Structure 1
Amino acid sequence: MYLSDEAIRDLNTLAGWLALDDLSARETLNPELLILAGHAIMPNIIGALDLAAKTGIPVLLSGGIGHSTTLLQQAVKQDPLTATIETEGRGEADILGEIAHQVFAIPWENIEIENRSTNCGQNADFSRDTLLAQSSIPATILLVQDPLMQRRTFESFQHSWRQKNLTSRFINWPVFVPHVVKVDDSLVITGGQRAGIWTIERYIAMILGEVKRLRDDETGYGPAGAGFIDHVDIPDAVENAWRRLTANNKLLVSVR
């Protein structure tokens, strides 16, 4: 695939905005819970669980069988650190739970499994309801998701919490912020320190799709569209980059 320098800059602008990162701006951090929503980006998963293991933060793992489940199963089997984990027929949270316990020695009493959700909105609602059932709503929650889905996940959790008048503070951590660079004639996605990230075609498709969902219009997830999230202000630089990329017919054809 060929990408112009402008297209690469635009993709990096969008990725930097989507991978919402509050952690890098904080010197101290005292979350009561880490919520890891199911996905298939192994460097992100490994980084989140490693932090939980080293700090003792309890974890809530959210995700049943959804769009990313097959990709997660494949990524787990391809990573030497997790290759022995049984994935067949299991949902995302159950797989992540085994990684947390077997690889990082996180005790089961520090792991909560929510394995019914099949999309981002349900990740939020079912995680919320799991905590409400325990009468245990943390004041501060570290929220981790696929970097390209981090902003939408945050908006979904904020929206879900507001429906029940809950006031937890979410600290977003995408673990890493991906960037595309051109090396000779190849396109490389950097940021993750392990194998197991996107193909370039899936990466571009996800970026364009995520911005589309966050737009508050008839095709988006905001109040003017599906109503899954509250209104999101999109910076001009992000909007302009998205418009240039979606006007690139050659690019769109290559990722279909």
Structure 2
Amino acid sequence: MTGQGQADLDLVGRYLARRDPGADTEPADVLVLCGSAVLASVDVVADLWRRGVAPTIVVTGGVGHSTSYLRAAVAHAVDDVPIAGRSEAAVLGELLARAGVPADAVRLEEEATNCGENARFTLDLLGPGPGTLLVLQDPTMQRRTHASFEHLGARVRSWAPLVPIAAARAGVWSEERFRSLVLGEVRRLRDDEHGYGPRGAGFIGHVDVPGDVLAAADRLAAAHPGSVRAAVTDSGQP
């Protein structure tokens, strides 16, 4: 990939990996860990819990279209964790236990299969008045997940578990998969007939995507047309 292409990937990746200033130190009521194959998120959530940022962790994730990536990542990186037939939340909950987080600090939501359901089912589990939520997600989906919680009226902060510039991406995604993910995310965030905003599917509120991010995504899409993922599928919100 050209130097411009790497710079564009870094720019789009930084934008998608939303980190609200102070979110990793300011008190919250609940930490929400969304299921993904980015196993670094487990250590980040465990550290936030140990530092007293929030007393409770909700792990959300059932069995969806990306669960196979989580199972593969766990099988490669961790010994003796059962993965077959288990939800993302159950697998990540076990990893949190191995990281020293006690079971009574963790609640599992095992039905969600996409970002919108992560938000909706987590809020259903918590019930009225859940307080401030600190949400962690796959960095490529962090901004959309934040928008999904906001769309449902939640008071939410974001802290992506890592910022996926080139050095941080190594070993987490192949370049091809990362490029496909970020281009699909920008397409979803655009508030037009192809996106998830009010002018499209209506899954999230309006998101102002900066012009330099849109330009970078357009250059990447033009250079790699096969990497552009469809934004909306027949099954709903991927």
Establish whether TM, by shorter chain, passes 0.5: yes
Using the TM superposition, give the Cα deviation of residue 27 of structure 1 relative to its aligned residue in structure 2, in angstroms.
8.2
Three-state SS of the structure 2 residue aligned to 1:247 is helix
Q: Which residue of 2 aligns with 1:245?
A: 220
Among 182, 189, 193, the alignment partner of 1:214 is 189
Match of 2:208 among 233, 237, 246: 233
1:128 is aligned to 123
Inter-partner Cα distance in structure 1 for 2:228 and 2:148: 26
Which residue of structure 2 lines up, in the alignment, with residue 48 of structure 1? 45
**How far apart, CA to CA, are the structure 2 residues paired with 1:228 and 1:255?**
20
Gaps of 5+ in 2: 230-238
Quote the offset at 1:255 in angstroms: 8.0
1:1-256 paired onto structure 2 within 5 Å: 3-23=1-21, 25=22, 28-55=25-52, 57-79=55-77, 82-101=78-97, 103-132=98-127, 135=128, 137-160=129-152, 162=153, 168-180=154-166, 190-191=167-168, 196-248=171-223, 251-253=224-226
**Deviations 1:78-102, CA, capped at 9 Å, x for gaps:** 11xx32211110010011111111x
Q: Normalising by structure 2, what TM-score?
A: 0.89
| Partner Cα distance (1:139, 1:255) in 2 | 37
Percent identity, please: 41
- C-alpha distance after superposition, 1:70-122 (max 9, x if no partner): 1111111211xx32211110010011111111x12222111111000111100
Cα distance in 2 for partners of 1:123, 1:27 equals 21
Taking only aligned residues, the RMSD between alpha carbons, in angstroms, comes to 2.0
1:17 and 1:93 map into 2 onto residues whose CA distance is 26
SS of aligned partner of 2:135? strand
Q: Which has the larger radius of gyration?
A: 1
**Take 1:27 and 1:113, find their aligned partners in 2: how far apart are those partners?**
22
Contact 2:42 2:96 (C-alpha < 8 Å) held by counterparts? no
